[in-house]
Chain A
Amino acid sequence: MAAAGEPFLRIENISKFFGPFQAVKDVSLNVAKGEIFSLLGGSGCGKTTLLRMLAGFEEPTSGKIFLDGRDMTGVAPWDRPVHMMFQSYALFPHMSVEKNIGYGLKHEKMSAQKKASRVREMLELVQLVPYATRKPHQISGGQRQRVALARALARQPKLLLLDEPLAALDKKLRERTQFELMSIQQRTGVTFIVVTHDQEEAMTLSDRIAVMDKGEVKQIGSPGEVYEFPNSKFVADFIGSITSFPATILERQTGQLRLSVPALGGEVMARDVPGLSEGQEATLAIRPEKLLISKDRPEGANAFQGTVKDLAYFGKDSLYRVILPSGVLVQAHAVNATRGGEAARVADWDDRVWISFAPSSAIVLAE
């Protein structure tokens, strides 16, 4: 058992080289028991390599992995209490659904009867009882995904690794499966590590997210933290869409910053970020949905006038592209709260409008 205060999974200064190429750069992170933890990043960011090191398929060049207090260095994949759900599902094509699910149990010392009931339990968990005797190529993609999940869970691993678990499913199925995955995780209590390139998937599934880029962990936090308080331009840009402008810090007041933003044609008030100093060059970033659009001048600070250049109607909301006097284009989302189609929208092409945002919505980054 882990000592008190010892995290369930501890990754300590892990680096991995493939020849001269460094795929993972000095990554450290902790995962608590029962957490759904996501590694989020684009292709080639090192997330899959990190996952394969957890599974034991790759040995770290340096650094250590501790699982439940045990050093995993040199432990072979087949000896690790860690199971993986592969992106391609990797079902054994020559075995039926139940044989696939029961495969890992071969290595458990338990009676045949107990094994059979465990397989049954797993089939029930993923609702595949009627398909138990079918072969993988005789079932649908969504069902295969569930077989892969059941197979990886059957031996009750301490850690379940999911490599792009939803990537092969179509959009509708993906949304349904996300919630299924979460409920299965709650019922089994197994710690999940999810690798994904899809930020929405990471946001809905995870308790915490590690955003990775070029082998490094850029930020670790809850979905809300990484979305609302990104610590770098990369994270802000990777998660959700964002508009950013160069800015100069004019003044630090208690809890507030006053910035000069030439692109917006004026000064902006924003929430203070520690570590910044007056006169420093910085970046102001705003999410489109935090920008309000109105015909009349709104109350308070941070309001700028511009002209509607483009608009797109999406049904539930509309996207406006507003051109400012400085020539800069900003994007603003507005929810279409009333029913009335095109006639009910806030502004039309070439209308003069105000865009504004709350000081707490402005993200100031020190780069």
Chain B
Amino acid sequence: MEGNRLSRWFDRKGWSDLLIGAPYVWLLLFFLLPFLIVVAMSLGTKTPTAPPISFGGDYPLFNFQGYVRAVTDTLYFRAFITSLVSAGIATLLCLLIGYPMALGLTRVSKSWRNILLMLVILPFWTSFLLRVYAWMGLMGRSSWFNAGITKIWNAIVPAGWAVDFMPMMHSNFAVVLVMVYTYLPFMILPLYASLERLDPTLDEAALDLGSRPWQVFLDVTLPQSIPGIVAGGMLVFIPAAGELVIPTLVGDASSPMIGRVISDQFSSARDWPMASAIAVVLLVLMVGPAMIYSHFQAKAEGSK
């Protein structure tokens, strides 16, 4: 009966415990535990040992220096502001470009739509790094693109403002431009998903009731696509705010973004408490609002 009991336990409960348990334990061990380590490190003290951190003994058990510096030091403060503003502008631009594109996708014929959707997704499957790199080539001072832009600029501005090339690389402008380029599909896809679900007869009903097309857009289409706007906005804003690759490659080294600061504090300065404290603050600033939003969203859906 022993084997029998074992197999009965497995059928009844064991298999579901396994199904839940394996990924659960994995995430606890390789995601939650490392994250808790970050939180713990943010309270430690930097030492010249390996690993460069210490608690207690000659040092305070909990050291809030990292947090104090993260919110008071102008370097970090500026980095936060630069990141949030750049990510914010990039998100807004993605929305302004992505919304008409998504709306356009819902209005073209079925066969075209599938091809165009594939073309939106295609860049997503190609290397992120290479998409950033493509813009490095275009923005460089001697590229055909830069030369073309320079020509246009020189033709429309007074002679005194003429330039030899546009200083595009290594600027916040370049960061925002490349962010828009790399994250635009993340805006278009959720927007398209929410716009595609809209009932076209609602549009027709509004037109029939005497609204002009732009009024229909404001009164009918836009309010119904808000979930798509929020989803797309979060998908762009959150990774953009913590971005490391783009600012490193095309950004202005004199005004670093927060992702770059975390990485530098950690790797070059070997200041684990500082890097960890900034990471925690960044998470609270970014993930906090997202969690609160999704909490209220779930509540609103639950009460329906």
Contact with B along A59-78 (1 / 0, CB 8 A): 00000000000000000101
What is the bound-complex CA distance between A78 and B11, given in angstroms?
10
Closest to B12 in A: A76
What is the bound-complex CA distance between A76 and B15, given in angstroms?
14
What is the bound-complex CA distance between A317 and B131, given in angstroms?
78
Closest to B11 in A: A76
Provide the residues of chain A in CB contact with B12, threshold 8 Å.
Answer: 76
* Distance (whole angstroms) from the CB of B7 to the closest CB of chain A: 11
Chain B residues numbered 91-148 whose CB sits less than 8 Å from any CB in chain A: none
Provide the residues of chain B in CB contact with A78, threshold 8 Å.
Answer: 11
Chain B residues numbered 1-32 whose CB sits less than 8 Å from any CB in chain A: 11-12
* Distance (whole angstroms) from the CB of B245 to the closest CB of chain A: 42
Provide the residues of chain B in CB contact with A76, threshold 8 Å.
Answer: 11-12
What is the bound-complex CA distance between A78 and B12, given in angstroms?
11
What is the bound-complex CA distance between A109 and B12, given in angstroms?
23
Provide the residues of chain A in CB contact with B11, threshold 8 Å.
Answer: 76, 78
**How many A residues, CB 8 Å from partner?**
2
Closest to B8 in A: A76
What is the bound-complex CA distance between A78 and B10, given in angstroms?
14
Contact with B along A69-96 (1 / 0, CB 8 A): 0000000101000000000000000000
What is the bound-complex CA distance between A78 and B8, given in angstroms?
11
* Distance (whole angstroms) from the CB of A137 to the closest CB of chain B: 22
Contact with A along B129-170 (1 / 0, CB 8 A): 000000000000000000000000000000000000000000
What is the bound-complex CA distance between A307 and B11, given in angstroms?
70
What is the bound-complex CA distance between A76 and B12, given in angstroms?
8
Chain A residues numbered 106-158 whose CB sits less than 8 Å from any CB in chain B: none
What is the bound-complex CA distance between A314 and B17, given in angstroms?
61
* Distance (whole angstroms) from the CB of A79 to the closest CB of chain B: 9
What is the bound-complex CA distance between A164 and B12, given in angstroms?
29
Chain B residues numbered 208-240 whose CB sits less than 8 Å from any CB in chain A: none
* Distance (whole angstroms) from the CB of A76 to the closest CB of chain B: 7
* Distance (whole angstroms) from the CB of A6 to the closest CB of chain B: 28
* Distance (whole angstroms) from the CB of B14 to the closest CB of chain A: 13
* Distance (whole angstroms) from the CB of B4 to the closest CB of chain A: 12
* Distance (whole angstroms) from the CB of A284 to the closest CB of chain B: 46
What is the bound-complex CA distance between A76 and B301, given in angstroms?
36
Contact with A along B238-256 (1 / 0, CB 8 A): 0000000000000000000
What is the bound-complex CA distance between A79 and B92, given in angstroms?
59
What is the bound-complex CA distance between A76 and B11, given in angstroms?
9
* Distance (whole angstroms) from the CB of B192 to the closest CB of chain A: 28
Contact with B along A8-44 (1 / 0, CB 8 A): 0000000000000000000000000000000000000
What is the bound-complex CA distance between A26 and B12, given in angstroms?
27
What is the bound-complex CA distance between A79 and B290, given in angstroms?
47
* Distance (whole angstroms) from the CB of A269 to the closest CB of chain B: 56
* Distance (whole angstroms) from the CB of B44 to the closest CB of chain A: 47
What is the bound-complex CA distance between A78 and B15, given in angstroms?
15
* Distance (whole angstroms) from the CB of B8 to the closest CB of chain A: 8
* Distance (whole angstroms) from the CB of A75 to the closest CB of chain B: 11
What is the bound-complex CA distance between A73 and B12, given in angstroms?
14
* Distance (whole angstroms) from the CB of B110 to the closest CB of chain A: 22
What is the bound-complex CA distance between A76 and B10, given in angstroms?
12
Contact with B along A206-249 (1 / 0, CB 8 A): 00000000000000000000000000000000000000000000
What is the bound-complex CA distance between A85 and B79, given in angstroms?
64
What is the bound-complex CA distance between A329 and B152, given in angstroms?
88
What is the bound-complex CA distance between A76 and B9, given in angstroms?
11
Closest to A78 in B: B11
* Distance (whole angstroms) from the CB of A106 to the closest CB of chain B: 16
* Distance (whole angstroms) from the CB of B278 to the closest CB of chain A: 46
* Distance (whole angstroms) from the CB of B304 to the closest CB of chain A: 20
* Distance (whole angstroms) from the CB of B128 to the closest CB of chain A: 36
Chain A residues numbered 168-223 whose CB sits less than 8 Å from any CB in chain B: none
* Distance (whole angstroms) from the CB of A162 to the closest CB of chain B: 26
What is the bound-complex CA distance between A173 and B11, given in angstroms?
40
What is the bound-complex CA distance between A76 and B4, given in angstroms?
14
* Distance (whole angstroms) from the CB of B5 to the closest CB of chain A: 13
What is the bound-complex CA distance between A209 and B12, given in angstroms?
34
What is the bound-complex CA distance between A195 and B11, given in angstroms?
29
* Distance (whole angstroms) from the CB of A124 to the closest CB of chain B: 34
* Distance (whole angstroms) from the CB of B86 to the closest CB of chain A: 48
* Distance (whole angstroms) from the CB of A27 to the closest CB of chain B: 26
* Distance (whole angstroms) from the CB of A102 to the closest CB of chain B: 22
* 3 pairs from A and B in contact (CB 8 Å cutoff): A76-B11, A76-B12, A78-B11
Question: Which residue numbers of B lie inside 8 Å of A, CB to CB?
Answer: 11-12
In the complex, the 3 A-B pairs of residues with the closest C-beta atoms, listed nearest first: A76-B11, A76-B12, A78-B11
